[in-house]
Amino acid sequence: MESLLFIGLIGAFIAIVVDILHHLPSEESRKTRKWLIGWFIKGVVIPVIVWMIFNLGVFQNLPDFVSSRMLQKMGGAHRDATLLLIFVGVIVITTYWTALTSGWLLAMLATYDLDGREVFRRVRWIAILLSPLALLIVASFGWGALGVAGTLWLLPVVKAVSSINAEPAQARKRPTYAKAAINLQRGKYEDAEQDVLAELEKSEDDFDGWMLLADLYANHFNDLAAAARMIDETCSQPTTTVSEIAVAYHRLADWYIKLEDNPASAIKALEQISRRYPNSHVDRMARMRIRNIAGKKEEKQTEPRTIRLPSLGKEFDNDSATEQNLEAAAAHARRCSETLKKDPNDIAARETFARLLAEQLGKAELAIEQLQLLLDLVANDEDAQEKVPEWLSLIAAWQLKYSNDEASAVATMKRLIHEHPSTAQAFAAQRRLHMIEMERHMRSHRATRPAQTSPAE
């Protein structure tokens, strides 16, 4: 009877393990299978071999576990008593190992995103009904039967938990940002960025990771536009909660005020909360802060617009140009054009002309052509080569901002990184390429997730 129970338990254990491995992702299944084989050798094969050596009398100096009492029960047949003791030892070792491994499998399943209520519903009656039987086995046969009792109790629980989903959910490997925090304290912002990105690969929609990355870009890379895009993408994820969305846009508003002294953009960020969740608690808090910002906003003297050299990370101002500014820009562009007619090799005039066309006159394609001409013009001029990274950076920024041509911008940034790898513009381009790739992953990840609507608070 004991043999049949032992064989049944081992068979059930093997069946459950095979079923779990079948539903795991291939890479994780391979690692788990490899671990189980090594654990089986160390936890079963080696102890059984040692137990047999001790009891077969292979070495005369080793102790003999066959007692005189057992010999009396077996009618004095030392050989039969030895075989019985070996058999009992094999059962004890194997069932203890099976019980421990079943517990490990249950702990592994606990790291997956499972419905806690569903787990409790399926497991509670199994655990309640099997507990008296397990206790009865231990009470009847002693602590040597603890492995049998544990295996008998754990296997149905493991099976019930593993069957909740036909395919296991993605492991809940929560990202940890301790290493990134250490690099932040040391001022190693590039290393911190790589640490955060590496952790986000484990969980692409982790709110804390994206907020930490957005904080890096806003406060350490001076790239508030990229930080704003990260927050927009994060808040578009179906797993982001109402409270997290409110926190994200409030923090973005903080950055607009602190870093750019831009209350208008801060108000626009807060309005995102009201637009998403009207008449909710977070809406009321956002509107209260909007009134506070508007009340503190001071009228400032209008300053003449200046032409700024954009970086790959920063968006241009979204403020619409006044008619007076447009006329001034057009007049300035005409003067540059006249200068270029007289001297086509005037680098400063052509650069200014290109920036006027792109930033103020809405003619990005013509502006990019002007910079392409500059690149050709200085191809053999070593003194002017130092301007090339700036021009390539400008071209990529305009392709993204005005032409909405991500493919061409990516090609330009790759050219910048390849030809001028040690420049500040190349580092900025590398960061932007990372962000474009991560944004693509997020959009792809969001497209594969079922739409969820978070209730308003």
Residues 6+ apart with CB under 8 A from 450: 238
In the CATH hierarchy, which fold is given to the domain comprising 323-448? 1.25.40
Mean pLDDT of 32-54: 82
CA distance 145 to 136: 10
pTM over 0.85: no
Residue-wise DSSP of 1-40: -HHHHHHHHHHHHHHHHHHHHHHS-HHHHHHHHHHHHHHH
pLDDT range class, residue 446, cuts 50, 70, 90:
low
Residue 320 pLDDT > 70: no
Mean pLDDT of 232-245: 86
CA distance 291 to 267: 9
Contact present, 429 and 416 (Cβ < 8 Å) = yes
Closest CA to 162 of 128, 123, 125: 123
Residue 424 pLDDT > 70: yes
Q: Which pLDDT score is estimated for 271? A: 92
Tell me how far CA of residue 205 lies from CA of 208, 449, 455, in angstroms: 9, 11, 19
The CATH-assigned architecture of domain 179-295 is: Alpha Horseshoe (1.25)
Retrieve residue 214's tokens.
Answer: 């957005």
CA atoms within 13 A on the CB side of 117: 0
Retrieve residue 388's tokens.
Answer: 């090339």
351: helix, coil or strand? helix
Every domain of the chain and the residues it spans: 2-162, 179-295, 323-448
Closest CA to 455 of 245, 242, 273: 242
Q: Which pLDDT score is estimated for 305? A: 45
Q: Which pLDDT score is estimated for 318? A: 40
pLDDT tens per residue, range 379-420:
777 667 788 888 888 898 888 888 888 888 888 888 888 888
Tokens 């969305």 map to which residue?
245
Task: Give phi and psi for 33, each to the nearest 5.
Answer: -65, -45
Q: Which pLDDT score is estimated for 130? A: 80
- Which of the pair, 10 or 387, is modelled with greater confidence? 387
pLDDT range class, residue 297, cuts 50, 70, 90:
low
Closest CA to 213 of 229, 199, 201, 196: 196
CA distance 389 to 386: 7
Q: What is the 3-state secondary structure (H, E, C) of 45-91?
A: HHHHHHHHHHHHCCCCCCCCCCCHHHHHHCCCCHHHHHHHHHHHHHH
Please indicate whether the domains covering 179-295 and 323-448 agree at the CATH topology level. Answer: yes
Q: Which pLDDT score is estimated for 310? A: 43
pLDDT tens per residue, range 75-87:
545 566 666 666 7
CA distance 270 to 275: 9
Q: Which pLDDT score is estimated for 451? A: 47
| Residues recorded for the chain | 457
Residue 249 pLDDT > 90: yes
Contact present, 91 and 2 (Cβ < 8 Å) = yes
CA distance 194 to 200: 10
